[in-house]
Structure 1
């Protein structure tokens, strides 16, 4: 049953409560969303929300666009939307509270390519950002993070929907994975990818619906791009499934004082072109990405003042204490070869489709929109057990069929809810479920009307049919959320913030109290 029919059946379609008025009619709302043919559950989620908002008198027009292009550009660079169906993936590195709060809503990230895609501005939030960074004691930092969540709960820069339980799968006739490590990113975790063994001739074949958007560490925007870059580039530390940093290219990390961190580089690292990895490469990388304002790392490196190298040691000097610097900067920034990047005149324009890295795999080839080949580097200190071949599929449904027939051995794409129960009864399919620390939301563009009106954003929090979306679209494998730090991230999440129940009367009352009215056709009008 469609949402509108359900609302009518339950008597929730009510006449506008406010008196008629002559304020300007709220203009049509462009809702940027995912194409139904490739991402049915994302599209349907946005459709359920749009139908509900129409009951409030809004003219909501869905704008499905192909992903990644042009949707990513419209979302992150051009900001060509009033609302966007935002899906932010979970990962161990994102267990630190900064990504889903600071990275998404700080002023510094209100730039093309930045995480603050809606242009949210809050003096109260800006005051708390440096406060929480200075606190190395987790309990003290948590108190500030709770205050940040309360600000976001009041301001409603996004209409939070749900955090999903992802189901990925392995065809055990094709791939063996021993010692699976539970992680927010499931089988995508590098700790699991390293241990995959092909039981067929050739590489482990993995299916995904998302192609690489950019191989350039300066301009990429998404976690999916970072995950694949992390296969070919080393980092100083890598966040473990428990959210704690584990030594990687660094032999040790020492917090010398509140604003000084020193890393000792592991010996014997080499780039894929045979050149040794040195502390000079590490220092160059951080200074280079900071200077060029690398899109993904702009907020992460804001507190970096200086970086120097001597022998196998790298010293990072910060402008102020930063509790997240080790996990967010040292744990995510890819180590670049200075001899490749230093003399480049326009590095932001470099496609980098033959990347020189020191990671566990080397990029064999990239056939855009088709497949990506990764060749294992047997000499790496974390040598993988197999080559990888990532195959791109047009939809999750086609990918699932390929997994069942053995065309691929692993689904990196979550299995669509409609076939999870079916796959559970297939003997050679191993299902792996993980509760994501990511979430889905309707992200508002606050730079202009109508979403510059706080009351409208607050009202719409009560007009998102979360439970119906969870049951009808997501197969019950999700939880409704009230904060971007979701319940699975228990230490940081504010459990006292209640999810708004679905209540259109409450939404109308908030709008009416703020001076919004409706015309005789039920269309919403601005306050006079």
Structure 2
């Protein structure tokens, strides 16, 4: 379980006090549950006091603990022996243990309301739940921590990284058994097989897309996670003093993941300095070994990769002007001529090969998709910018999308003598990016200024990349990030002119409030990054597909979007691939739909029962044996009827799917 000092709030958030929204009208502890879970007589209820004497068939264990159900190749022997960082036990006939649900208030302006909605949905099934508000860096740190989630549910919006917008793999491959980022311990053998197969298709995009769409179909039907919604990106910025904002899907017009707005902005006054407010600070100036978030994104203004992502989510040239697969395991790229580092030294092919080898040698965390597929590199030419060959360890279709867009190139002459790069914090980071470093004060400010040698300042390049969003003109001279205490202070600073833009996201209401002065405009963009409620699949309850399907049907996603988000989000089934990725998205993936009555029927037929107070209990007797059968390896992706199990309810009717 999570140590107490990591909890911002736990039981302090009590849905019993919240009645103005119907999905926030959570069950009232020991009273009132009959209206949500059904009365005990109609649900096969029984006395909770009998749980210690539950009927357990001979040869069936009376309890099942959370454990690693598979030998994970990403875990060492010690971690495997220690087990998951979470205790949760299923006991025959016993009430469900409290389901812990973590989120971070820092993630989105409405994250707390979403967490309360999820708690209410679980309560509506008769299960106790507790929500835990964690600092965002702790929540996201689990994506680097292979042992797994520290709570049964973990809610967060995936970041607006370009790699999530240009292809499906960033959101799907973490579900592979071999992925070091599979921290919810989900594994489906067919999905694993399909992911491996599509990864080897380097030429036939349609064939690869067909396999990716099959993965989505399986994942959604299996309820591999709860994909709550794809929230619109909402923010606010000064449009009286600046024009040229680019509403890139995912980051929107003002977040840090892309630099298209900053290189396209045209000042309408004499002030060519652009100030962004932020509530998140950087921890270092070491981009390749950052843990994601603020420092990785902002330092991308200083560093370039081989290729970039356009606002249309296409892969376009950056340090490399072209290239691709020569054969299934060989990639060659042509490098841009005339590029200079911020210290004036020329960029060379040696910088590319050095960067990749250096990253692999020292396990650079933020550029794994770039170096991991590569076995060796060769310099084929040094003229006209140069040509570099990458010899891959095997066919890897994602190398020319996620790999090259996620790449970072560092100067060999600055890094070659760094012996401990993971601990290194350059006091003057040097890159080739559109902006060069000026100064940084941790927790206060970060400043960069324009580097004219970069191609992104070219009207010709920008007009081709940006289309209708292109603005011609002299552009801005510098970008300054200033740390602001909270969203309220941010809005005040924007309205007073202390900052020019909100460097993060706002709620719809906040953006409306911020845009009251005529100089400020509310801005929106669509999103390819879902709000993903991850489920810890080492937990016996989560391994029961009957419970997962019932849970999916108990959540009123659209109701939440309509009321709390004013309709500013896309809702679909449990599919992590957005319709914005039209080549890859499967519009026919399973959607279970909101129906709490059907959800309770599913659980009742699977043998779950409710006591007189409305609390849900694990099955007992033959229904408990059926539960234990459903959660075994090979069965966790099957419904009760697929295993030939009977209807254990006291009533009869049409099977709910």
Calculate the TM-score normalised by the size of structure 2: 0.73
Structure 2 distance, partners of 1:419, 1:289, is 41
Structure 2 distance, partners of 1:241, 1:196, is 15
- C-alpha change, 1:450 and 1:181, in structure 2 (3 Å) is closer
1:256 equivalent to 2:326? Answer yes
190, 215, 231: which one pairs with 1:124? 190
In the TM superposition, what whole-angstrom CA distance separates every residue of 1:32-88 from its partner, at most 9, and x where no partner exists? Answer: 11137x8440111011111221121222111112233x3333564373222111111
Instruction: Select the structure of larger CA radius of gyration.
Output: 2
- C-alpha change, 1:415 and 1:273, in structure 2 (3 Å) is same
CA contact (8 A) 2:34 2:614 kept: no
Structure 2 distance, partners of 1:234, 1:85, is 32
State the Cα distance separating 1:524 from its structure 2 match: 3.1
Structure 2 distance, partners of 1:125, 1:353, is 45
SS of the aligned residue for 2:136 comes to: coil
Structure 1 distance, partners of 2:616, 2:217, is 28
Which has more strand, going by share of residues?
Answer: 1
State the Cα distance separating 1:503 from its structure 2 match: 1.8
State the Cα distance separating 1:14 from its structure 2 match: 2.6
1:496 equivalent to 2:588? Answer yes
Runs of 4+ in 1 over 6 A off after TM superposition: 6-10
- C-alpha change, 1:214 and 1:152, in structure 2 (3 Å) is farther
Structure 1 distance, partners of 2:376, 2:238, is 48
299, 304, 312: which one pairs with 2:374? 304
State the Cα distance separating 1:287 from its structure 2 match: 2.6
Aligned positions of 1:1-20 closer than 5 A: 1-2=20-21, 3-5=23-25, 12-15=36-39, 17-20=43-46
123, 126, 137: which one pairs with 2:204? 137
105, 114, 127: which one pairs with 2:175? 105
Which segment is superposed worse, 412-421 or 309-318? Answer: 412-421
Q: Which residue of 1 aligns with 2:557?
A: 466
1:331 equivalent to 2:405? Answer yes
Structure 2 distance, partners of 1:466, 1:498, is 15
SS of the aligned residue for 1:207 comes to: strand
1:396 equivalent to 2:487? Answer yes
State the Cα distance separating 1:334 from its structure 2 match: 0.8
State the Cα distance separating 1:202 from its structure 2 match: 6.1
Q: Which residue of 2 aligns with 1:216?
A: 286
In the TM superposition, what whole-angstrom CA distance separates every residue of 1:179-224 from its partner, at most 9, and x where no partner exists? Answer: 7465442214322221224546462001223323554344434355
State the Cα distance separating 1:353 from its structure 2 match: 5.5
Aligned positions of 1:319-398 closer than 5 A: 319-352=393-426, 354-383=428-457, 385-398=476-489
In the TM superposition, what whole-angstrom CA distance separates every residue of 1:219-260 from its partner, at most 9, and x where no partner exists? Answer: 434355432232111111111112221111113224322221
State the Cα distance separating 1:148 from its structure 2 match: 0.8
Aligned positions of 1:448-463 closer than 5 A: 448-463=539-554
Which segment is superposed worse, 70-79 or 367-376? Answer: 70-79
Which segment is superposed worse, 446-455 or 141-150? Answer: 446-455
Structure 2 distance, partners of 1:173, 1:10, is 56
Number of matched residues?
521
State the Cα distance separating 1:407 from its structure 2 match: 1.5
Q: Which residue of 2 aligns with 1:235?
A: 305
What is the root-mean-square deviation of aligned Cα atoms in Å? 2.8
Runs of 5+ consecutive residues of structure 1 not aligned to the other structure: none
Aligned positions of 1:48-197 closer than 5 A: 48-68=117-137, 70-74=138-142, 76-77=144-145, 79-110=149-180, 114=181, 116-135=182-201, 136-174=203-241, 176-178=242-244, 180=246, 182-187=248-253, 188=255, 189-197=258-266
1:509 equivalent to 2:575? Answer no
Structure 2 distance, partners of 1:301, 1:144, is 25
State the Cα distance separating 1:445 from its structure 2 match: 1.9
Structure 1 distance, partners of 2:309, 2:565, is 29
CA contact (8 A) 2:232 2:526 kept: yes
Structure 1 distance, partners of 2:369, 2:219, is 18
Structure 2 distance, partners of 1:435, 1:52, is 27
Runs of 5+ consecutive residues of structure 2 not aligned to the other structure: 1-19, 55-91, 458-474, 625-657
Structure 1 distance, partners of 2:168, 2:178, is 13
411, 426, 439: which one pairs with 2:502? 411
Which segment is superposed worse, 197-206 or 312-321? Answer: 197-206
CA contact (8 A) 1:159 1:464 kept: no
378, 382, 387: which one pairs with 1:313? 387
State the Cα distance separating 1:266 from its structure 2 match: 1.4
Calculate the TM-score normalised by the size of structure 1: 0.89
CA contact (8 A) 2:26 2:120 kept: no
Q: Which residue of 1 aligns with 2:99?
A: 29
CA contact (8 A) 2:369 2:399 kept: no
State the Cα distance separating 1:132 from its structure 2 match: 1.3
CA contact (8 A) 2:184 2:537 kept: yes
In the TM superposition, what whole-angstrom CA distance separates every residue of 1:133-192 from its partner, at most 9, and x where no partner exists? Answer: 223222211110111102211332321111112223221244x12374654422143222
SS of the aligned residue for 1:45 comes to: helix
In the TM superposition, what whole-angstrom CA distance separates every residue of 1:490-522 from its partner, at most 9, and x where no partner exists? Answer: 232111124332222222233334443334433
1:265 equivalent to 2:335? Answer yes
State the Cα distance separating 1:328 from its structure 2 match: 0.9
CA contact (8 A) 1:100 1:484 kept: no
